[in-house]
Amino acid sequence: MNASDAADPALTPDAFLPDALLDSFRERAVVHDRENTFPDDDLADLRERGYLRLLVPTELGGLGASLLEATRIQRRLAQAAPATALSMNMHLVVTGAALHTHRLGVDSVRTVLEDAAADQLFAFGISEAGNDAMLFDSSTRADEQPGGGFQLTGTKIFTSLAPVWDRLVVHGRVAEASEADPKLLFGVLERTASIEVLDDWDTHGMRPSQSRTTRLRSAPVAADRVLTSTPVGPNQDPFVMGIFGAFELLIASVYTGIAERAIAVGTRIATTRRNATKGIVHADDPDIRWRLADAAIAVDGVILQIEKVMADLDALGTGEQGTGLTDHGPRWFLHFSGVKSRATETAIAAVDQVLRASGGAQYFRRSELERLSRDVRAGMYHPSDEESVHASYAKALLGDIGAPRTALPR
């Protein structure tokens, strides 16, 4: 039996996020995009629905959702308020990684799940300017303290939920580790005077996410809030793998949700907009029909990919086996990044197809499609970006640049 077969009816997207709630989110999204403000009311509504406890096991006080259920819920939320969905992704990435690690019997992440069960909001402080290695290295310095724990000094960028988070998961390079054996530290910070959140978020799209720059100045990670320590470089540490998988697939879900909404809006426009030259509604115009169908075909394909790989990740954590489930072994990270890449690029292309099918009125700021077209383009900036995905696949196919070559078998 697959994880989705035993889904709680209360956690289906339509039940968890009813239409009336999404209508409110969609109305607010217009205002927050225009005013460049964080959607506090959205967060309050989601807290009330138990969103922060979504991925916490029921035995720890949570709702007990699977990672697959979370992707479906995030797609639905993104159809109403893309930036709200993107912001909440970061809490779900942290709790999703903790869930995966907890399932594998690692105790260090239990505090993350307990905090989330107590309605503490997590953000994700990993991105750093110029750090293409992302999870596998850091320009932030982690100094070990005599009494235990660490102090972190560095600058994190694109920190969604910046105005409102309660806990921040960060990583840093351990200062005392030898160059022959460099180490990374992953831990949890609380808001203190050692953390400065800049008010510098003024962007083309995803404006309400308020993903501001965060400066750490000897910010303390207590010994009991250290989540894991890993070598520098690619590794399959359970928490790191959980972060990578949850991040890539939840990101893919948000941008796919945006594309789904664009197709729905474009379909509605096509049923009422007329071609005066041909004397027909656009829904009967072969060119318009082809564009909308082309967008829908591509989006359907990435939904299937997201759901397949996320179901496999759920099963990896629970030890579930059976027909249709796959342990991808050394190719897990390739599949995580590949799905994210295909999903975000498909979403951008799909929204563009809908825009081309929907006329010049959608170029005005009053149009929902105009806003969706700006929000969807943020997908190209999230890791893994197109360059790193192609580099990873090229390495898997061809080895490192300059490596000795042997003829491949025919």
Greatest CA separation found in the chain?
Answer: 80
Q: Tens of pLDDT along 364-386? A: 999 999 999 999 999 999 999 99
Residue 6 has pLDDT above 60, yes or no: no
Residue 178 has pLDDT above 80, yes or no: no
> Which residues, 6+ apart, have CB-to-CB distance to 336 below 8 Å?
244, 245, 248, 249, 309, 384
Q: Tens of pLDDT along 287-329? A: 999 999 999 999 999 999 999 999 999 999 999 999 999 999 9
The Cα 189–Cα 282 span in angstroms is: 54
Residues pairing with 367 in the sheet: none
Residue 149 φ/ψ, nearest 5 degrees = 85, -175
pLDDT value, residue 3:
45
Rounded average pLDDT over 90-104: 98
Nearest partner of 167 among 93, 247, 74, 62, judged by Cα: 93
At which residue do the structure tokens 């309400």 appear? Answer: 208
The Cα 78–Cα 354 span in angstroms is: 17
Average pLDDT taken over every residue of the chain: 95
SS3 label, residue 381: helix
Q: Are 158 and 129 in contact (CB under 8 A)?
A: no
Q: Tens of pLDDT along 202-241? A: 999 999 999 999 999 999 999 999 999 999 999 999 999 9
pLDDT value, residue 297:
98
Rg of the Cα trace of the chain?
Answer: 22
Rounded to 10 degrees, what is the CA torsion of 253, 255, 258, 264?
Answer: -70
The Cα 324–Cα 346 span in angstroms is: 25
pLDDT value, residue 7:
62
Instruction: List the structure tokens of 325.
Output: 């489930």
Question: What global pTM score does this model have?
Answer: 0.95
Rounded to 10 degrees, what is the CA torsion of 24, 25, 27, 32?
Answer: 140
Rounded average pLDDT over 3-27: 86
Q: Tens of pLDDT along 117-148? A: 999 999 999 999 999 999 999 999 999 999 88
Nearest partner of 255 among 43, 74, 17, 68, judged by Cα: 74
Stretch (H or E) spanning 171:
strand 167-174
Rounded to 10 degrees, what is the CA torsion of 314, 319, 325, 330?
Answer: 90
